[in-house]
Chains A and B, each alone.
Chain A
Amino acid sequence: MKNNIRIYLVGAKTALASRMAYRGDFFMSMLIMLLVEMAAPVITILIYQNGATFPGWNMYEALLIQGVFLLGKGIAYPFFFGIVWNTIERVQNGTFDLLLIKPKSVLFMAIVTGFDAEDLGKLVGGVTLFTLALSRLPAPEPGAWLQFMVLFTITLMVMFGYGLVLAGLGIVWIGNFRVYEIFESITSFGLYPTAIFSKSLQTIITLVIPVAILGSVPATVLLGRPSPGTLGAVGVSLLFLLFSLGFWRWMLKKYTSVGG
Chain B
Amino acid sequence: MGRRTKIGKKIGYWFGVLKATAFSTYKEWAAYRSQMAISIFVGPVFFLIQLFIWRAVYATRTTLNGLTLEQMLTYYGIVAVIGYLTYDSADWDLQWLIRNGSFLTYMLRPVSYCFLAFAQKIGHRLLALWVEIIPVGLLFLFVFKIRLVPAEPGWALFSLGLSFVLVFLTNYCIGITAFWLTKTEGIRRAFLTLRNLSAGMLIPLNFFPAWMQKLLFYLPFQFITYVPTRVFIGHYELAGISLSIPRVVGLQVVATLVMLVVARLLWACGIKRFTGVGA
Q: Given A42-B197, A50-B64, A189-B49, is A25 in contact with B181 using a C-beta cutoff of 8 Å?
A: yes
Residues of B within 8 A of A258 (CB): none
Contact indicator per residue, chain B 48-74, by CB within 8 Å of chain A (1) or not (0): 010011011111110011000000000
- The stretch that binds A, out of B107-115, B161-169, B201-209, B242-250, is B201-209
At the interface with chain B, which of A32-40, A124-132, A216-224, A225-233? A32-40
In the complex, A29 Cα to B182 Cα: how many Å? 14
Task: List chain A residues, Cβ under 8 A from B197.
Answer: 42
19 cross-chain CB contacts under 8 A: A25-B182, A25-B184, A25-B187, A26-B186, A28-B186, A28-B190, A29-B185, A39-B202, A42-B203, A43-B202, A49-B209, A52-B61, A55-B59, A175-B35, A176-B34, A176-B35, A196-B52, A196-B56, A201-B52
How many chain-B residues does the 8 Å CB contact rule pick out?
Answer: 37
**Residue A178 CB within 8 A of the other chain:** yes
Q: Does B262 have its Cβ within 8 Å of any Cβ on chain A? A: no
Kindly identify, within residues 38 to 71 of chain A, every residue whose CB is under 8 Å from any CB belonging to chain B.
Answer: 39, 42-43, 46-47, 49-55
A188 to chain B, nearest CB (A): 5
Contact B193 A24 (CB under 8 A): no
Q: Is B235 an interface residue (CB 8 A)?
A: no
Quick check: A28 and B41 within 8 Å, CB to CB? no
Q: Does chain A have a CB within 8 A of B189?
A: yes
Cα of A24 to Cα of B183 in the assembled complex, Å? 9
Q: Is the CB of A36 within 8 A of B186?
A: no
1/0 per residue, CB under 8 A from A, across B187-231: the answer is 101100110010000110001110000000000000000000000
Kindly state the separation between the CA atoms of A119 and B152 in the bound complex, as whole angstroms.
45
Which B residues from 1 to 53 make CB contacts under 8 A with A? 32, 34-35, 38, 41-42, 45-46, 49, 52-53
> Whole-angstrom distance between the alpha carbons of A201 and B61 in the complex?
23
Question: Which 5 A-B pairs give the minimum distances between C-beta atoms?
Answer: A28-B186, A196-B56, A29-B186, A185-B45, A25-B183
Contact B60 A50 (CB under 8 A): no
* Contact A181 to B42, CB < 8 A, known contacts A46-B207, A55-B59, A189-B49: yes
Beta-carbon contact of A43 and B203 below 8 Å: yes
Query: Is there an interface contact between A36 and B49, defined as CB atoms closer than 8 Å?
Result: no
Point out the residue from A32, A42, A53 that lies within 8 Å of B57, measured CB to CB: A53
Say yes or no: B49 contacts A52, CB within 8 Å.
Answer: no
Q: Is A173 an interface residue (CB 8 A)?
A: yes
Residues of A173-201 contacting chain B, CB below 8 A:
173, 175-176, 178-179, 181-182, 184-186, 188-189, 192, 195-198, 201
CA distance A32 to B42 in the complex (A): 22
Q: How many Å lie between the Cα of A113 and that of B192 in the bound state?
A: 28
CB distance from A204 to the nearest CB of B (A): 11
Residues in A with CB closer than 8 Å to B209 are 49
Q: Considering the chains assembled together, what is the distance between the CA atoms of A146 and B142 in angstroms?
A: 47
- Smallest CB gap from B190: residue in A: A32
In the complex, the answer to whether A188 meets B49 with C-beta atoms within 8 Å is yes
Whether B189 pairs with A50 at a CB distance below 8 angstroms is no
Interface size on A (CB < 8 Å)? Answer: 41
Residues of chain B at the chain A interface (Cβ within 8 Å): 32, 34-35, 38, 41-42, 45-46, 49, 52-53, 55-61, 64-65, 181-187, 189-190, 193-194, 197, 202-203, 207-209
Residue of A nearest to B43 (CB): A185
Contacting pair A182 B42 (CB below 8 A): yes
In the assembled complex, the Cα of A65 lies from the Cα of B197 at a distance in Å of 22
**Residue of B at shortest CB range from A54?**
B56
Q: Which residue of A lies closest to B64 (CB)?
A: A52
B46 near A188: Cβ-Cβ < 8 Å: yes
A235–B12 Cα distance when bound, in Å, is 66
Known: A178-B35, A188-B49, A196-B52. A32 touches B193 (CB 8 A): yes
Assess A35 versus B65: contact at CB under 8 Å? Given A53-B60, A186-B45. no
- Residues from 140 to 165 in A contacting B, C-beta threshold 8 Å: none
B186 in contact with A25 (CB, 8 Å): yes
Other CB < 8 Å A-B pairs besides A25-B185, A184-B42, 15 of them? A22-B183, A24-B186, A29-B189, A32-B193, A35-B193, A46-B208, A47-B57, A49-B207, A53-B57, A54-B53, A54-B57, A173-B34, A188-B46, A192-B53, A196-B56
User: Is A31 positioned at the interface, with any CB of B under 8 Å from its CB?
Assistant: yes
Shortest beta-carbon distance, A226 to chain B, in Å? 20
- B30 CB to closest chain A CB, in angstroms? 15
**CB closest residue in chain A, given B197:** A42
Chain B: minimal CB distance from A4 (Å)? 30
Q: Contacts A25-B183, A181-B42; is A32 near B189 (CB within 8 Å)?
A: yes
Q: For residue B58, which residues in chain A have a CB less than 8 angstroms away from its CB?
A: 52
A197–B52 contact, CB under 8 A? yes
Instruction: Enumerate chain B residues within 8 angstroms of A50, measured Cβ to Cβ.
Output: 64-65, 207
Determine if A32 and B41 form an interchain contact, defined as CB atoms under 8 angstroms apart: no
Q: Indicate if the CB atoms of B185 and A43 lie closer than 8 Å.
A: no
A47-B57, A185-B46, A192-B49 known; A42 vs B189 contact (CB < 8 Å) = no
